Amino acid sequence: MYRRRLIAAAAATAAVVLGTAVALATRPADAATSVFEAESATLSGGAAVATDHTGYTGSGFVGGYTDGNKGNAATTFKSVPAANQLVLRYANGTGSTMTVSLYVNGAKLRQIQLPATVNWDTWGTETESVSLTGSANTIAYRFDSTDSGNVNLDSLTVAQVSQYEAESAALSGGAAVATDHSGYTGSGFVGGYTDGNKGNASTTFTVPAASQLVLRYANGTGSAKTLSLYANGAKLRQISLPATANWDTWGTETEAVNLTGASNTVAYKFDATDSGNVNLDNLVVSGTPASPTPSPTGSTGGGQAYEAETGFVSGGATVSGGVVTGLTSTGARVIVSVNVPSAGNYAVGLRYTNSTGAARTLSQYVNGTKSAQVSLAAGSGTLTNNQTLALRGGLNLIGWQVDSGDSGGVNLDAVTVTGGTALASRGATVPYTEFRAADQTTNGSKLAAGRTYLTMASEATGRQAVQLTATGQYVQFTLTQPANALTIRYSIPDSSDGAGASAPISLYANGSHVQDITLTSRYSWAYGAYPYTNVPSQGSAHHFFDETRALIGSWPAGTVLKLQKDAADTASSYTIDVVDAEQADAAYAMPANFVAVTSYGATAGDGSDDTGAFNSAVAAARAAGKGVWIPAGTFDITSRINLAGVAVRGAGQWYTTVKGRNGKGGFFATGSGVTIADLTMSGDVTYRDDAGFDTGIEGNFGTGSLLFAVRIEHTKVGMWIDSGTNGLYAAGIRIANTFADGVNLHANVQNTRVDQSTVRNTGDDALAMFSEGTAVTGCSFTFDTVQTPLLANAVGIYGGANNSVTDSLLSDTVTGSAGIAVSSRFGIPFSGPTTVARNTLTRTGGYEPNWQTNLGALWVFADQSDITTPVTVSDTSIVDSTYQAVLLSYGHRIGNLLLDHVGIAGAGTWGIDVYNVTGAATANYVTVTGAAAGGLNNPGGFPITRGPGNSGW
């Protein structure tokens, strides 16, 4: 497949994006790259090959950098060729930045820092500039006595990249060589981009053909600055250069270009519309420019490949033989998720086949908006269509669809984005870095870790949080990426009447006060028995946490951000769980062919009821064949907005908020062709009332609908997708702090996918498929991240056929809960296969107080009917389960269960517990370690066919 042919090119691109290089006397060959697997290196001092985490390349990775091997563990790569850049791929699931020492040809070069990765199954890269000559160099990563170690190493990519020193470029308009700051490469850097030279200062490089530029710069002003990028004399765009920590600290800014000539000019100019005031150090160029015509050889110029067959298909499109086919009738479509590091223009290549003898057309969509009709030339073999697309930072959706007027009839193989980055291998690809407070620096109190229901620790991420109770207490963390936006998960005490209390907390950056952030208990703290109330006198308090968001100005990597209880911060305690830091794009502009709700009387921020204006805008847009635009601001609604055959878009979830009132308000689909994108739906639900309150997004979406980049909070349910929906794609959704389910696919929902989405702090199942009356069929939850569902399961599949949950991260269930439940407790019986594959379940399972029983992390529950259709659980990690890792129960038949490559590491009771069921199961490569009660409890003798590779039970 095409994926394999692109590995080398993708690795070369990654090496260039992430690092800088040493000064070069002459220009070297472009991006000569070699990859060395750590498990094939020379290992010593306790370093050893391991395979007990996922996501590694090659045949394993190197572990053993543990405290017991401090001062000894080493991985030495030999026969390393000449290079100027090293990219180490590693995992660090400790939650804190760790260090090892880098040695080149036996001499210590420096201590390097390896920031925390999301977990031990997630891999990061660390880039260093070196100067290697010859063909037999040695590179060693050692756990010296001054290092903190405790990391795993996967591979080393060495590259010779093309670097141009700014001081050797053509300077004009006041730009001049300087040396009065440190940290530059070469013999100096270029300054002179001062206000006195506005409109004139320029640095011009002469470079070969390339598809990517990486500018190394310093910006000690404290805020983002801009310059204009020119290629061959023509302005491409204005670029933003975020602040660096100071003038001695250097950052990089990456741009996708298409330089096709053997000699090109690239200039960074201080135009009259720019803010300037930066210093430039060097420019690294890489990549092959996009071909202007279809190429039968299939070359796309390198970049990150995204296979079309992994995308979402609907409307008659299907996957066959590793390509997407069936793009023949109106409505047939494929949508592919891609990921880029920052907003900008990117070279995108579409690989396809068209043997019809004539050019064929498809409509191209970027993030749900039609961008062009593309013509795909005919030819033999695999062809490539190349173009430049404007993409946002982070997750993007690129789709091709047969619209009216398109001829279709082509097959699609893959999409390549030059400068793109890989999607997460498991869980959602998210734009933020999560900082767990318990892993950060604090002078407050860390809550004792615990999982007991009705305790605050049980609802915290990782079961531990930080509490600030005295003036001057704080928790602080260091940004590993630039950020201008924070999401804070917190708890403050409730008011005595349950209506909620508010209090500020102070945010500092590098020791200076930035702003106060207001917190409230209005949407947290539930009481009493199910379905719970907002009355404190009923006791049994839970649902302690809520979230708030704030735009905080631009801060570079390395900034120390601190949340502190100051004298004016009036809550008696502040419990901080996690902080998510991200670089939010600027507000999006209204697309063509949209009508604004403000043109129909909606007004932002004044608290007035905008429901009528919204409804008028929807009616007018639908009649005119246009979309509805909700600009930046907060708009209030008091009932649901009905949608069919219309797109509703906002300026981005950080800018456009639709606010419910008194438990009411949301979007309700009544037919096909609905798009909702780029906004926040913020309800006003303060307790659970299933009959009286509204869901954030609900209804029958018919065919051809899309939900993208929407945040939903403080609603009854996040999304309730109902009967009649066929082919809905929901991606990049963030759901938090609901009082019932996060997502529920209900009854006759078909071919619907919830992808690349996060769900946190729900009051019932985070993700559910509920076959009530009719079966949910052909649906999937893929690449999702679920954290702290407070009641019930991270994922519940209740009946149905051909449904799946795959490639997801699920953690910290609280009560009456499993990580994944395949269950006949609700709905009609299973009528087809269920697939559970490539998931990680961490600290899941829970106690069911009504039944006074423990529930497993993976729970197959034959309750109201037999489960005899195939249930396949494969390539799944079950880690630190509260009770059983796997539970099979209760009273009916489980007749066709396959456990294949399931790794169980840590369980509060049994590894596998079988209770009062009949039927049979097969187990291959199921391993159990660390189960407190033992590997297997099977008192009834449930038949388990043991295949190869099992151990520990």
Helix (H/G/I), strand (E/B), else coil: 349 = strand
Helix (H/G/I), strand (E/B), else coil: 655 = coil
Q: Does a structural domain hold residue 524?
A: yes
Q: Does a structural domain hold residue 344?
A: yes
Residues 168 and 155 in one domain: no
CB–CB of 627/647 below 8 Å? Answer: yes
Residues 381 and 255 in one domain: no
Which pair of tokens denotes residue 151? 């990391």
| Residues contacting 238, CB < 8 A, separation 6+ | 226, 227, 228, 229, 271, 273, 274
Residues 40 and 79 in one domain: yes
Element housing 88 (H / E): strand 83-91
Give me the pLDDT at residue 252, please: 79
The one-letter amino acid at 541 = A
Helix (H/G/I), strand (E/B), else coil: 678 = strand
Residues 137 and 79 in one domain: yes
CB–CB of 726/756 below 8 Å? Answer: no
Domain stop point among 582, 604, 638: 582
Could you tell me which residues are beta bridge partners of residue 168? none
Q: What is the spatial order of strands in the sheet that 360-366 belongs to?
A: 312-314, 333-340, 394-401, 360-366, 369-376
Give me the pLDDT at residue 403, please: 97
Q: Does a structural domain hold residue 729?
A: no
Provide the CATH number for the domain around residue 899: 2.160.20.10
355 C-beta neighbours (distance < 10 Å), count? 12
Residues 91 and 174 in one domain: no
Query: Can you point out the beta strands (E) in 200-278?
Result: 202-207, 210-218, 225-231, 234-241, 251-259, 264-269
Could you tell me which residues are beta bridge partners of residue 744? 720, 768
Helix (H/G/I), strand (E/B), else coil: 354 = coil
Q: Does a structural domain hold residue 719?
A: no
In total, how many domains does the chain have? 6
CB–CB of 9/211 below 8 Å? Answer: no
Residues 234 and 263 in one domain: yes
Distance CA 492, CA 948 (A): 52
Domain stop point among 160, 195, 222: 160
- The low-confidence residues of the chain, meaning pLDDT below 70, are 1-33, 287-302
Provide the CATH number for the domain around residue 56: 2.60.120.260
Which pair of tokens denotes residue 254? 């990456």
Distance CA 369, CA 588 (A): 12
The owner of tokens 């909702």 is 676
Residues 688 and 798 in one domain: no
Round to the nearest angstrom and report the end-to-end CA distance of the chain.
Answer: 38
pLDDT, tens digit (0-9, with 9 covering 90-100), for 577-603: 999 999 999 999 999 999 999 999 999
Q: Does a structural domain hold residue 26?
A: no
pLDDT, tens digit (0-9, with 9 covering 90-100), for 103-131: 999 999 889 888 888 789 888 888 777 87
Give me the pLDDT at residue 22, please: 25
Element housing 18 (H / E): helix 7-18
Give me the pLDDT at residue 245, please: 82
Distance CA 898, CA 803 (A): 16
DSSP notation for 496-556: TTSS--EEEEEEEETTEEEEEEEEESTT--BBSSTT-BS-GGG---B---EEEEEEEEEE-
Q: Does a structural domain hold residue 8?
A: no
Between CA 344 and CA 352, with CA 347 as vertex, the angle to 5 degrees is: 140
Which pair of tokens denotes residue 489? 């998960």
Domain stop point among 563, 582, 601: 582
Between CA 502 and CA 762, with CA 585 as vertex, the angle to 5 degrees is: 45
Residues 627 and 685 in one domain: yes
Residues 133 and 178 in one domain: no
Q: Does a structural domain hold residue 7?
A: no
Residues 145 and 226 in one domain: no
Boundaries of domain holding 643: 593-714
Element housing 162 (H / E): strand 162-165
Q: What is the spatial order of strands in the sheet that 502-509 belongs to?
A: 441-442, 474-478, 560-564, 502-509, 512-520
Residues 58 and 150 in one domain: yes
Residues 103 and 188 in one domain: no
Q: Does a structural domain hold residue 722?
A: no
| Residues contacting 553, CB < 8 A, separation 6+ | 223, 484, 514
